[in-house]
């Protein structure tokens, strides 16, 4: 068994020497290599246009690398999709469309009765359990349009979790939530890695805490850091310098920056 085969077997995500570009001779990502272990919490940070979204598209198999190899859950990214769930930054929807919180959550199930298009009793029970898990007990029949931004985000997370994915991808899940809601959501997400592998894309470095195992700093190239290794020099490098705010990721950060 090769080193690559071993890494693919023992880890959730493996990028090995990946280079990608949307146009000839214009690369977005260059020689990207990293490993995300099963059951770990990985944050993806970097400036706009740095390649964060492209990295996620490659992970999902929506794009193919020009060079290098990608393995997700021990197989090709396209084959692994049925074991993945994705939480978008925000949901585009028509407020006038009459869809309930329960109905949105049930959309996380890709399989249902083909002829009648109905969800099973077990699926509905699982949806109720998941809504309870994200703090929305009793909201199943509430119209999705009546919820606050933070509550809507929790519904989208419930939709992603209801199918019990092995890998959860989240794109700035705190984007439409107030500070108090963000803290509560952060605590909730931190506990998910006990059940699955989590990837979190975020611009808000305050949202990246000691619960994170690794931080992928993406700006065409890639540096991988443990959370406690992030300092002002790293931030300056990947966010283009300027007046950056230093964020302490754990209790070991006793110095002032």
* Tens digit of each residue's pLDDT (9 = 90 or more) over 147-189: 887 788 889 889 999 999 999 998 877 666 666 666 777 777 7
* Alpha helix positions (H), 134-256: 149-161, 179-190, 232-238
Q: At residue 256, does pLDDT exceed 90? A: no
Q: At residue 5, does pLDDT exceed 50? A: no
In the sheet with 29-37, reading across from the earlier edge strand, the strands are: 29-37, 11-20, 67-72
Fold for the domain defined by 3-89+165-238: Rossmann fold (3.40.50)
**Greater pLDDT, 113 or 195:** 195
Per-residue model confidence (pLDDT) at position 247: 46
pLDDT in tens, 58-117: 999 999 999 999 999 999 999 999 899 988 776 666 767 889 999 999 999 877 654 566
Q: Report the relative pairing of strands 214-219 and 221-226 from DSSP bridges.
A: antiparallel
What mean pLDDT, rounded, does the chain reach? 80
Residue 69 DSSP label: E
**b/e string for 90-121 if b means 16 or more Cβ within 10 A?**
eeeeeeeeeebbbbbbbbbbeeeeeeeeebee
Task: Kindly list the domain boundaries of the chain, sorted by start residue.
Answer: 3-89+165-238
Per-residue model confidence (pLDDT) at position 89: 72
Per-residue model confidence (pLDDT) at position 210: 59
Q: At residue 134, does pLDDT exceed 50? A: yes
Per-residue model confidence (pLDDT) at position 162: 93
């Amino acid at each position: 068994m090769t080193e690559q085969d071993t890494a693919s077997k023992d880890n959730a995500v493996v990028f090995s020497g990946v280079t990608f570009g949307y146009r000839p001779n214009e690369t977005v990502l260059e020689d990207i290599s990293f490993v995300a272990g099963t059951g770990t919490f990985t944050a993806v940070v970097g400036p706009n246009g740095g390649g964060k979204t492209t990295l996620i598209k490659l992970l999902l198999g929506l794009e193919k690398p020009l060079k290098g190899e990608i393995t997700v859950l021990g197989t090709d990214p396209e084959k692994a999709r049925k074991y993945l769930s994705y939480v978008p930054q925000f949901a585009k929807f028509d407020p006038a469309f009459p869809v309930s919180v329960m109905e949105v959550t049930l959309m996380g199930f890709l399989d249902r009765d083909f002829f009648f298009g109905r969800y099973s009793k077990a699926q509905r029970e699982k949806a109720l359990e998941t809504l309870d898990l994200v703090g929305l007990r009793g909201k199943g029949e509430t119209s999705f349009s009546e919820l606050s931004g933070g509550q809507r985000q929790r519904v989208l997370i419930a939709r992603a979790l209801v199918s019990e994915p092995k890998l959860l991808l989240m794109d700035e899940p705190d984007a439409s939530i107030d500070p108090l809601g963000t803290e509560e959501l952060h605590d909730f997400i931190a506990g998910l890695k006990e059940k699955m592998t989590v990837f979190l894309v975020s611009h808000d470095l305050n949202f990246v805490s000691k619960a994170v195992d690794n931080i992928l700093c993406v700006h065409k190239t890639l540096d991988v850091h443990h959370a406690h290794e992030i300092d002002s020099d790293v931030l300056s490098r990947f966010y283009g310098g300027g007046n950056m705010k230093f964020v302490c990721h754990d209790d070991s950060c006793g110095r002032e920056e």
